[in-house]
Every structure is written in C-alpha cells, then in structure tokens.
Copies of this chain bind each other. A is one copy, B any other.
C-alpha cells in the first residue's frame, strides 16, 4: 500500500479497500478465524461451550493516542473487560472502523497494531470486521466499535440481585487515571503531568475474583466512573451505597489536576479497574488475591452496602456526609 493518508476510495468496496483490509487490518489482526473474503464466519466453540455471552461498545476517544494507551487498545480492553466482569471467558471480537478521510495511515497502523497486542494479551481473536471511510470533517479521525463474544460457566451467577445489605465494595486500584491521562493529552489547559491511563485487560482480576465464594457482582467503572457504578448498584439493587472518601485510592497527580479543574475523580473513567461487591467476611480474601497480581496492587475496600433508600453517600475526610448525585453534566466528553 503506497498511500500515506486515508482517501474516500479506501471505503468503496473496491481495490483500495481490499488492499487496506489485507495489508493493514488483516496483517496485524489475522488469525485462523478471520477470513476477509467471507460475509460471515463460523466461530469454533467447544462441544459443551457453556453460556454464550455478548457485549458491544463504541470508542471515540480524543486524542487517538495518549499516555498508557490508544483507541485501539481501549476498544479491545473495553469490550473484553465487559465480558470478564460478567463472569465470561472472552473468546472473539468483531471490529468496525469508521475512518476519517485524511487520517495518516501510519497512525491507523499503530492503533491496529496496538489492538492486536491487546487482543493477544486477553486471549481473544478478531473474527470479523468492517471499515467505512467518513468524509473529511465528518469524523474525529477514527471511531471504533467492537462486539465481544465469550463463554460463561453456567454455574456462575453474578448480578445486582445477589447484592445484600452489609456487603463490602472493593476496587482493584486507583481511580481516574484514564480520564486524567486523556485530558492531559489534549493539552487544552496548558497542563502537563505524567498520569498514564490504566487501560488494560481485567481478565486476570476477574478470574481470581470468580474463585471467591462471596463474590456478588463485578463491573468495570468506565464512563461515569465509580460514582456511576455505585449509582447503578443503588438504583437496580434498591440499596444505599456508602463510600468512604479516605479509603478510595486516587493518585496524587490525579487529585491535583481534579482540584485545579474542579473535577470529581469519582466520576472519571477507569479502563483497567474492577469494582466488586463481595460478602463482608470474604472481602479481605478478595483484596489479598487481587494484591497478589501486578494489576491489583492498589486494591482497596472502599465502602459498604446498606439497607436504605437508593442513594450513594460519601463519608468525607472530615467526618461529614455528602450525596454523590447521578452524573448529569459531562465533565470530560470523548474519554472512551
């Protein structure tokens, strides 16, 4: 492929599109399941595969590359992580790429290569894909959509319905790194800092959590952050969620930026963390097993579930209480 930038003809179904798919997408993402000549492909599954699980996500992060990740890694991790926190073993992905005319092919190639590394890390294969080219000015460089297919042991029953008053709430590491890293990469406010996105697979964290007999529920706190996960728990399970400000791990650099710009770190996206609800007496064993993993070093017990109205209460550093309201404004658009 001799071009340096994406042209409309790369999306027309003809020779340029075929070359782009063969020489860039398939070269990096190729695997025995991916056949670029087929309309639909068969997914080989074991004879008794368990429950088939599916999830999907769109990605529009700006800029496309940021410290600790890029839109390609994010698209793989985000979808894989949704399967993992649902208790499934991620197996296959499909990929849609909406590419803006004029995007540098070198950037696209770095992003797709990064996707391939993230997929290998999580043990998933890209089974099908499609590309569309958007006219110059009608896209943000690149948007991705991924659908993930996984298999779940039918004996695993996680969900809001399992959550009980008294349960503990734990998080696998510091929150807000992804949101702040992307915000800093935009260089909008003349701020600099060395916060790296936490974008990573949570398959390892989910696997050890699934061994814990007290595990009730897991979620990855992406858009809307841990405050939004806490709200979902409160609303769907019909409970009060009490979080302790001093217990929630937030890096100093993230706190500084949040203080300067008036952000609340509890609403910022993470892309490699897990929030779990676990029976109180099993919380310390879950924390111990997470801390045994490199990606779970910063795991912490951050709150409890209580009987009460559906709301989220933050016990502040100074001993007060404030409600964490459901997110309305968008503090940081285009974060994932």
Contact = CB atoms under 8 A, between A and B. Distances in A.
B330 A54 contact: no
A12 B333 contact: yes
Contact of A15 (B12, B51, B137, B326): B326
A96 B144 CA distance: 10
A127 B56 CA distance: 9
Interface string A1-39: 000000011011111111000000000000000000111
Interface string A120-159: 0000000111111111011110010101111010000001
A64 interface: no
Contacts of A66: none
Contact of A135 (B9, B152, B334): B334
Interface residues of A, number: 79
A268 to B, nearest CB: 11
Given A11-B330, A127-B54, A223-B12, A137 B137 contact: yes
A150 B40 contact: yes
A12 B335 CA distance: 9
A52 B43 CA distance: 5
Nearest to A134: B60
Question: Which has the most chain B C-beta neighbours within 10 Å: A17, A52, A92?
Answer: A52
Interface stretch (A79-87, A242-250, A257-265, A310-318): A79-87
Nearest to A222: B13
A232 interface: yes
B330 A8 contact: yes
Contact of A140 (B9, B59, B134, B220): B134
Nearest to A154: B42
A42 B133 CA distance: 33
Contacts of A132: 58-60, 143
Given A60-B134, A135-B334, A137-B137, A13 B54 contact: no
Interface string A298-336: 000000000000000000000000000011111101100
Given A88-B40, A134-B60, A140-B134, A147 B327 contact: no
B38 A86 contact: yes
Contacts of A38: 86, 159
A75 to B, nearest CB: 11
A14 B328 contact: yes
25 contacts: A11-B223, A12-B327, A12-B329, A12-B331, A13-B222, A14-B330, A15-B328, A39-B55, A40-B53, A40-B86, A40-B148, A42-B51, A54-B94, A54-B128, A57-B130, A58-B96, A94-B147, A96-B96, A96-B145, A98-B98, A132-B143, A133-B333, A135-B140, A138-B139, A138-B140
